[in-house]
Amino acid sequence: MTRKILVSALAVLGVLLVAAAVLAPGQLRDSAVQVPGDFTQETVLAGTASLLDRSSVMVPGPLRVEQGTEIRIDTTTEAESRTEADDLVVRTEATGVTGAGTEFHSAIDVVTVDPGTRIAVAAPESTMRAPAAAAAKPTPARTGTYWTFPADTARADLPYFDSATLTPVTARYLDADREIEGQRVLHFRFEVRDYDMAGSPANSQPARLPLPAAKWGLPGDDVLTMNLYYTLVQDMWVEPETGSVLDTVVQPTSYFAAAPGDPNQIVVYAGELRFTPETVTALARSAQDGRDSLRLVFVYVPIGIAVVGGLLVLIAAYLAVRGRRPGSGGGTTAAAPTAAAEDQPAPVTASS
């Protein structure tokens, strides 16, 4: 009876472990792909750009644009807190400086995201402000991701949110022709064309600027008001398993003009920047760590559980078969019958 109980227990346990190995990845996926509560990411974009000399606004003569200015944008994205609904409040602070150390851009963006999908949620309200501003401005409801992509990123167009204009865009899938640090990455691109920044809460500088015609390099003495327009082409290379963006190239252009396509436009900022090699290496290592963690959950642990379960089933089957073999310790065999009395030789006696 003890053997039968042992065999049954091993078989049941083995089957349960095999079933758990099959079901575990699906049950653990949501927690495995979530953005951790202590998440922090630092990136650096660097390159050269044409930059409006702000001091030329206040001095006689037309506006001046400095060519070939070295640019560096440092960005820190970190998990700030959790809401009662267990969503994640993410804070992104970006600061842009020239090679001479002059700050030309700064913004603090706060948005609440679902830590699993990385998609923004409605509450609490997303905000954006300049560091020196007294209060943050509410921003429009957001759709899509904006600093990372979802885990298991598909080779298809995806919704994205441009934090420069605070508008939804489509990140178009282009190809998978590149490897970064041995990791195959997917190439996405989104574009914003001639967006009028007037009234946008993302804008930290005047979006309509009235100046004498001479300042705009035009004839006459009239005061002309120009609007600020923005164009961006951004390429991103994404590690698909984790959704991590490993490299980025941005080509932003902002300019004052009477209308898009105005030949007399004045450049405020135009250039090409990309992640520094140090940033790409750090992001690639982080993505590799993330892939290892996901594979531990989705591959190695289930395989290990399945192997143990299968071995238990085999052991149970072996014990069951062995217990039924004649002569084995697990069963009982009938004693060999004794010879019949009439077949036994008669005892020898003295008288005979």
pLDDT of residue 331: 47
State residue 120's pLDDT score: 78
Distances (CA, A) of 234 to 106, 170, 189, 192, 250: 19, 11, 6, 9, 4
Residue owning tokens 């520094």: 276
Write the pLDDT tens digit of every residue in 166-183. Answer: 888 999 999 999 999 889
Report the distance separating Cα 229 and Cα 203, nearest Å.
11
Distance CA 27, CA 47 (A): 45
pLDDT digits (tens, 9 = 90+) for 94-147: 888 888 888 888 888 888 887 777 777 777 677 766 665 556 677 777 777 877
Q: What does the chain come to in residues?
A: 352
Asked which of 27-31, 100-104, 175-179, 301-305 is least confident by mean pLDDT, the reply is: 27-31
For residue 236, the model assigns a pLDDT of 96
| SS3 annotation, 129-177 | ECCCCCCCEECCCCCCECCCCCCCCCCCCEEEEECCCCEEEEEEEEEEE
Lowest mean pLDDT among 7-21, 33-47, 167-181: 7-21
- Mean predicted confidence (pLDDT) in 342-351: 49
Is residue 276 within 8 Å of 71, Cβ to Cβ?
A: no
Token pair in block for residue 201: 């809460």
Radius of gyration of the chain (CA): 36
The predicted model scores a pTM of 0.75
Side chain identity at 270, as an amino acid letter? A
